[in-house]
Structure 1
Amino acid sequence: MNPTSDTLTHLPPPEHADVLVIGTGFAGLGTAARLKRRGTHSFVVLERADDVGGTWRDNTYPGAACDVPSHLYSFSFRPNPDWSRLFARGPEIHRYLRDTARDEGLLPHIRFGAEVTQARWDTVTRHWVVTTARGVFTGRFLVTGTGHLSDHSLPDIPGLAGFDGPVFHSARWDHGTPLAGKRVAVVGSGASAVQIVPEVAEAAAEVVVFQRSAPYVVPRPDRAYTDTEKRVFRRDPEAVPAHRAEIFWYLEAGYAARRAAPHQLAEAKAAARAHLERQVADPELRAALTPDYELGCKRVLISDTYYPALTRDHVRLEPSALAQLEPGTAVAASGARHAVDVVVLCTGFETAEPPYAHLVHDGAGTSLAEHWAQGMEAYASTTVAGFPNLFLVNGPNTGLGHNSIVHVIEAQVTYVLGALDWSRAHGDHDVEVTPAAQRRYTGELARRGADTVWHSRGCESWYLDPRSGRLTLIWPDFADEFRHRNGTFDPPAYRAPTLTPAPVTP
């Protein structure tokens, strides 16, 4: 719908800042906090919602928790000695992000209700012009911090819109729908589903879980931190960094299995198989829960309660996808029919083709999505040829299957700050990566990923772009290598400043 002239008249005048940041999850707040800490105050953070938190604001489903240990799933520059558990629950992580926004002095910089509808590079002013629901913003630099899990994906299932009961996505949990005594269908068996199913099983009269493919599930060694441990974390400035390092290197060892190193892969598969055998005695159910692809191809899940929930008398596993919904009935691809009252969609997010890519345009009006017709790519996983002064934090090839994404985000933010310094030192020169450098980097990642489990036979996962089969979401190496490779701005990959000849003295 086009705005009327009256609407345009009442729009506020454009607001300008040196840096525009989109999103208030870990990526957006991490960028803003580092800008503020170094004395940069000319920045604005655009947030479409009315609160900060990103994924942890939106995902309020029962059982929501992180599968990366708390002390590592937090900013290194904002240690929290008071994490309650090894694996924090969603509300506690959301509170941490809220505290970050407040304590780092970011709230005056955030514009809530500012959903971005278009971002365009102006070739005349050499600025980004960003149109939002609450007005227009301009800035020299644009940082997208929207992440991989910000826009939920709804499946194209016949009868979905006409189902006669509540239907909602896990990322938009309907807390007004009581589940007590209801027959509930949970569609999907990924990271959200393994947390939701045990919780729903406690309330619902019947639960059916539609599983398109069985996930690998390993034990969740969760526990509460003791008061003594938290006291040590508060009093000893070295205690939290040491604990973070211990967790980081323990998780880092898990990448060897993704590289398909035979011994490590066999050990990881044996641990997953033993977990399944301990928790599921029924051989038929166990067979249905046994993955038919290589471990690591899809996200490896951690849970001690998912398998036991599936063994309960009122919970059924449907080992096929949901094919159709009819009034009061969910029809599986196998042909089985299940009576249901409520449908919960644990169907993931828009990852390979992120919605923000359709909103960001270069100087000629071509969208980032059009540039990425065969899959996302960015130099150093951060900048894109043809899009000056644009930085993607938590964008292409930044996901990790074995360690903390916050580690990657912090490396990228350091890269961005280095780029801003370089620009300033060269007379506010635009930061624009060359196409040749981006091609070399894309080729480098293809070579790194060639021998990993993500390209193993039968692997179909959201890490791969469905149009080209390219590995576009995951970083195909150790997390430490990401920081080594992409944690420092490298000027040779960018268009060099034009040198003005010195005046000739007669």
Structure 2
Amino acid sequence: MNMHANNIAGGARAPWAKAGTQPRVAIIGAGMSGISAVVKLRQAGYTDLTVYEKTGKVGGTWRENQYPGLSCDVPSRWYSFSFNLNPDWSHRFSYGPEIQAYMEDTANKFGVTDIVKFNTPVADLTYEGPQWRLTTGDGTVEHYDVVISATGVLHKPAFPNIDGLDTFEGDMFHTARWDHGVKLEGRKVGIIGTGSTAAQIIGAITHKVGTMNVFQRTPQWMIPLPQKEYATGWKWLLRTFPALQKLTYNFYFKAMSKNFGAATTGDQKKLADIQEACTKHLEEAVADPELRAKLTPDYQAACKRLIFCSDFYPAISRDNANLITEGITRITPTGIETVDGKLHELDVLILATGFDAAAFILPTKVTGENGQDLGEAWDGSPRAHRAVAMPGFPNFWMLEGPTGPVGNLSLITISEYQVDYIISMLNKMRDDRLEAVSARQDAYQHYNEDMGKQMPNTVWASGGCTSWYFDKSGNPNLYPYPPHRYLDDMHDPDFSEFRLIADVKEMQAANA
């Protein structure tokens, strides 16, 4: 009875902006972007919101990842919601459990948790102008005026394509599905991958395992993590004088944007400083010249996502650690065989092989105007207009969408700016009594062609490496300009880049 009533209430109705009613807004995902969307939309006066979350908790990537040593590479004071600054961070760079607790606390404090449909994945989104039909995994159907995808970038684990992966008889799991019931002490552990996740895990557990075998395909540049534990007095000061919290937030915001943001997008002096710091770290932390040679990349620092880690080099230098650079031939029931014919016997195999960075809202099926399928439109090379919109998909918005500025910046800040941009679009719809808004095809093409021309000037494209930033197009799926340019654009939308549709049925009839 209740479900039937909800479906009727959420069915086709008069366009909200013309009727002067609240838009029904569906938000897909209850991670940091979803939480930010709810809070900021409410602050802007949009209150008919529903969040769909595929799991049983808020938190997104911080809920998914629970591996030992997990920490953030963005300072805590900046890796925070601007509307809920936290004076009680325990460290300059927070650890995973504390960030997850902060996400849950924020969601509870601002009433986000109350409107989340947990354990409810969205299977299908179909545009039925001017509304969207949303179908959940259990077949429930609802209709919404606006859909916001807040699914994040790194949420779909990528598994290596290695012969025999399914034959291993020991304990095996992906880092995003960490099995806390598996005993590590004294056992022969192998880890495939040497990215940020692997570096943190290796630094955290090598001292307690029997043997740590690290299978390295490509070495990584690492910069020391300037970790610091905050004193009780400092926390009291920030709690007592909230203005100081805003000052520290802005300090790290500007420092990270001007240094790492500028270095990756063309500032050669700042890039050289990063290279020098990474080289010095490696030389000082690894005494064995043979091991140091194996750990030395042949590409520019920051070409791949820069790793902030002080524990990896000491860990990989331990007597019980082996850095294996020979390629993997196959996985056997008892271990990993490399191209030199050696079998490395293992009790536990950890897959630190990252995520499908081209998935975004997929595998949810999204169908726009004229039956256009989003997955087919992207075809492994997802792009968007200003990272938030797609031509042919009216009233559909993305947070942290394709070509979003990833880099070593706070994704919370980027999400908040993107929500502000979406709010500007909703205000435009309300004020002009529009039924639909979508990116213009020519604006989308110009925007992405312009970024393609700029990309060779970035370290991601010119630094001599390949990385998970690259997609099927052969180009990094990133924003190639300094971050402040993107953030400024988010607060100064150009409505001429969008189709502003006053009457969807009339437009459809004219195009028939």
TM-score (norm 1): 0.92
What are the Cα deviations for residues 34-78 of structure 1, in whole angstroms up to 9, with x where unaligned? 122233221100000001001001111111111111111111111
Q: Does 1:108 align with 2:120?
A: no
The question of whether the paired residues in 2 share the 8 Å contact of 1:143 and 1:393 is answered with yes
The question of whether the paired residues in 1 share the 8 Å contact of 2:394 and 2:438 is answered with yes
The question of whether the paired residues in 1 share the 8 Å contact of 2:70 and 2:197 is answered with yes
Q: Does 1:396 align with 2:365?
A: no
Q: Does 1:487 align with 2:491?
A: yes
RMSD: 2.1
The 1:457–1:269 alpha-carbon spacing in structure 2 relative to 1, beyond 3 Å, is closer
Q: What residue is the counterpart of 1:121 in the other structure?
A: 127
Q: What residue is the counterpart of 1:35 in the other structure?
A: 41
Q: Which amino acid aligns with 2:497?
A: A
Give the Å deviation of 1:137: 2.5
Q: Which amino acid aligns with 1:25?
A: G
Q: 1:168 aligns with which of 169, 173, 177?
A: 173
Q: Does 1:257 align with 2:263?
A: yes
Q: What residue is the counterpart of 2:145 in the other structure?
A: 140
Give the Å deviation of 1:321: 4.5
Gaps spanning 5+ residues in structure 2: where?
Answer: 11-22, 505-512
Q: Does 1:314 align with 2:320?
A: yes
Q: What residue is the counterpart of 1:81 in the other structure?
A: 87
What are the Cα deviations for residues 294-350 of structure 1, in whole angstroms up to 9, with x where unaligned? 211111101111000001111111124543110212123454431111110000001
Q: Which amino acid aligns with 1:481?
A: R
Q: Which amino acid aligns with 2:152?
A: G
Q: 2:385 aligns with which of 379, 384, 394?
A: 379
What are the Cα deviations for residues 374-395 of structure 1, in whole angstroms up to 9, with x where unaligned? 6111111110000000101011
Give the Å deviation of 1:237: 2.5
Residues in 1 aligned to 2:458 and 2:237: alpha-carbon distance in whole angstroms: 40
What are the Cα deviations for residues 132-156 of structure 1, in whole angstroms up to 9, with x where unaligned? 1242222111100111111111111
The 1:144–1:275 alpha-carbon spacing in structure 2 relative to 1, beyond 3 Å, is same
The question of whether the paired residues in 2 share the 8 Å contact of 1:398 and 1:405 is answered with no
Residues in 2 aligned to 1:476 and 1:285: alpha-carbon distance in whole angstroms: 34
Q: 1:276 aligns with which of 279, 282, 286?
A: 282
Q: What residue is the counterpart of 2:509 in the other structure?
A: none
Residues in 2 aligned to 1:321 and 1:68: alpha-carbon distance in whole angstroms: 33
Q: Does 1:190 align with 2:184?
A: no
The question of whether the paired residues in 2 share the 8 Å contact of 1:352 and 1:464 is answered with no
Question: In terms of mean alpha carbon deviation, does 194-203 or 255-264 score higher?
Answer: 255-264
Give the Å deviation of 1:10: 8.8
Q: What residue is the counterpart of 2:134 in the other structure?
A: 130
Q: What residue is the counterpart of 2:68 in the other structure?
A: 62
Q: What residue is the counterpart of 1:209 in the other structure?
A: 214
Q: Secondary structure at the match of 1:356?
A: coil
Q: What residue is the counterpart of 2:101 in the other structure?
A: 95
TM-score (norm 2): 0.91
Residues in 1 aligned to 2:429 and 2:299: alpha-carbon distance in whole angstroms: 47
Please give the residue correspondences for 1:216-255 in structure 2 after superposition, counting only pairs within 5 Å.
216-252=221-257, 253-255=259-261
Q: 2:24 aligns with which of 8, 18, 25?
A: 18
Please give the residue correspondences for 1:321-360 in structure 2 after superposition, counting only pairs within 5 Å.
321-333=327-339, 335-354=341-360, 356=362, 359-360=365-366
The question of whether the paired residues in 1 share the 8 Å contact of 2:454 and 2:480 is answered with yes
The 1:39–1:93 alpha-carbon spacing in structure 2 relative to 1, beyond 3 Å, is same
Higher helix residue share = 2
The 1:107–1:353 alpha-carbon spacing in structure 2 relative to 1, beyond 3 Å, is closer
Q: What residue is the counterpart of 1:51 in the other structure?
A: 57
Residues in 2 aligned to 1:71 and 1:93: alpha-carbon distance in whole angstroms: 12
Residues in 1 aligned to 2:323 and 2:179: alpha-carbon distance in whole angstroms: 23
Q: What residue is the counterpart of 1:3 in the other structure?
A: none
Count of residue pairs brought into register by the alignment: 489
